[in-house]
Amino acid sequence: MILRTFSNLAAAAALAAALPTIAIAQDNADAAKSEAPSIEPQVRTRDLSGTFGGQRIGYTATIAEHVLANDDGKAEAVIVTTSYVKNPRDTSRPVFFIYNGGPGSGSVWLQMGAFGPKRVAIPSDARDDGAPPYPILDNPDSLLDVADLVFIDPPGTGFSYLTEGTDPKKYYGLEQDARAVATVIRRWINDNGRWNSPKYLGGESYGTTRTAMVVRELEGATYNDVGLNGLILISTILDFAAREPTPGNEMAYVMALPNMATAAYYHGKATAPSVEAIAEEARQFAIGPYATALMKGQDLPAAERASVRAELSRLTGLSDAFLDQAELRVTDQRFYKELLRDRGLTIGRLDSRYTGTDYDNAGEYPDNDPSFYGIDGGYTAAINSWARDTLGFETDREYQAIGSDPGRYWDWSLSGRGRGAYLNVAPFIGDAMRQNSQLRTFVGQGWYDFATPFFGAEYSLNRVGIPQDRVEFHYYDAGHMMYIRDEDRAKLSRDIRAFIRAR
């Protein structure tokens, strides 16, 4: 939004002198508003071309600022979108609105790693990305052959920001963030004449949480619904209570167990015919004997405890003695440190294929996440080079790949409940799917992702009220950002391309 200004203050003042006192007061207020500096949104476009999905495509890349103002017309937030639209423009083409997670994460990861027309090349085999220069390559796995793409950086991420004096709590929160993103989506649809285009909405990690919140905003507006064709969830987190391993919350241990088994399999600490096989073994054990044992608490008989401990050791690669001392309950942080302690290594949280070396080997928790510091440099360099040098975006602001402010101020309350309550946004997806008979949901999960475990995604989306015949799961041989692995980036692209074409 471009803020309104008054070009003739002298005329306004003369008119005010002839009006009653209440009118003078109103004019003074209007004049004061007019003195506030307006923000002229920056828009940069480039006509480019590339080969995507085997098709040669010309497209227009547009990086643009969208100004959100309060009721008084004061600019509060500037949100940046980067869109890629096929030429010639075709309003019957699907459009896919995409963001990342965090909260506080910019869209760089999906844009420069998976779906954008360019990607940064980093090692595909769980090695560190090293130092620059990082190759920025054509991305044949971009989805531009099947959909126009709109990447959104919510406030506090990427180049998007809150203006001076804006209360962070107006934008940093479950519902606040969703309203801002939904506003930008509606505005983009309107400005580009895409109201009747097929529409897809999705993101990664907290971006899946955002999707549940935004779909409530878009399809729950009585007089201004935005119909959607599909939701695309990558590395899903919807049920937060099942992810907090606090004393007494046994479900968190149940949800993490299959991931421990797949990580143990990858590193040779557990044996099975395949990762799929050990994942299924662990699922059945987790919801059967293991969950039963945890629910029995201190009433668990010794013989049953020993039996469960032995199977837990077989699946996770952890020693019987360690599991006994941990009371059968191993937090993910302890697992990262313990699994390969005999090799002097830790494993990654975002991707347990990655390994790291800590300052010493005696600690209980790892020093850091090797699957994050092994990739971050390449992505930050790539988005800055692409946006500034190629698309021509001009700013002295630093790109916030992982911004700190949103997480610092984030309001996790939902409908008057705090985060201490059972926070689960999956029912919003169920609501939307029941009210829209053609809305489908795609779920992509990495076998080696501890940040958003695949079993947690399955658990949250098979609850009552979610039509199972319109939810499809796809699995990948990597972690949270499965597209880092070349084979899985291609597979993810094929799977989503087929999902969009199947409408």
Domain boundaries, the chain: 43-241+376-501, 245-372
Which long-range contacts does 487-494 make (Cβ < 8 Å, 24+ apart)? 487/124, 488/446, 489/113, 489/114, 489/119, 489/141, 490/141, 492/114, 492/141, 492/234, 492/444, 493/53, 493/114, 493/115, 493/141, 493/142, 493/143
Provide mean pLDDT across the span 294-304.
97
Question: What pLDDT score was predicted for residue 24?
Answer: 38
What is the C-alpha separation between 324 and 318, in angstroms, rounded? 10
Closest CA to 255 of 270, 265, 242, 244: 242
What is the C-alpha to C-alpha distance for residues 92 and 194, in angstroms, rounded to an integer? Answer: 8
- The string of pLDDT tens digits covering residues 128-157 is 666 778 889 999 999 999 999 999 999 999
**pTM for this structure?**
0.89
Asked whether residue 277 carries a pLDDT value surpassing 70, the answer given is yes
Residue 476 main-chain phi, psi, to 5 deg: -135, 150
Q: How far apart are CA 460 and CA 238, in angstroms?
A: 7
Does the domain spanning 43-241+376-501 belong to CATH 3.40.50.1820?
yes
452-455 long-range CB contacts below 8 Å, 24 or more apart? 452/205, 452/208, 452/235, 452/236, 452/237, 452/480, 453/243, 453/255, 453/256, 453/258, 453/259, 454/258, 454/259, 454/279, 455/254, 455/255, 455/256, 455/257, 455/258, 455/259, 455/282, 455/283, 455/286
Helix (H, G, I), strand (E, B) or coil at 405: helix
Residue 328: pLDDT over 80:
yes
pLDDT digits (tens, 9 = 90+) for 96-108: 999 999 999 999 9
Is 50 exceeded by the pLDDT of residue 21? no
Other beta carbons within 10 angstroms of residue 427's beta carbon come to 17
Cis preceding-peptide flag for 427 (omega within 30 of 0): no
pLDDT at 34: 42
Q: Which helix (H) or strand (E) holds 236?
A: strand 230-236
Q: What is the mean pLDDT of residues 207-218?
A: 96
Q: Average pLDDT of the chain?
A: 89
Q: Which amino acid is at 196?
A: N
Q: In whole angstroms, give the CA distance from residue 456 to residue 238.
A: 8
Q: How far is 290 from 327, CA to CA, in rounded Å?
A: 12
Confidence of residue 58 (pLDDT cuts 50, 70, 90): very high
pLDDT bucket at 374, cuts 50 / 70 / 90:
low
Residue 134 is predicted with a pLDDT of 85
pLDDT of residue 110: 96
pLDDT score recorded for residue 365: 86
Is pLDDT of 186 > 70? yes
- The two tokens of residue 305 are 């405890």
Give the type of residue at 207. G
Q: Would you say residue 6 has pLDDT above 60?
A: no
CA 331, CA 322: separation in Å to the nearest integer?
12
- Summarize pLDDT for 401-452 with one digit per residue, the tens: 888 888 889 999 887 665 556 789 999 999 999 999 999 999 999 999 999 9
CA dist., res. 333 & res. 335, Å (int)? 5
| Amino acid at position 12, single letter | A
Kindly tell me if the per-residue pLDDT of 29 is higher than 80. Answer: no
- Listed residue (334, 111, 345) closest to 207, CA to CA: 111
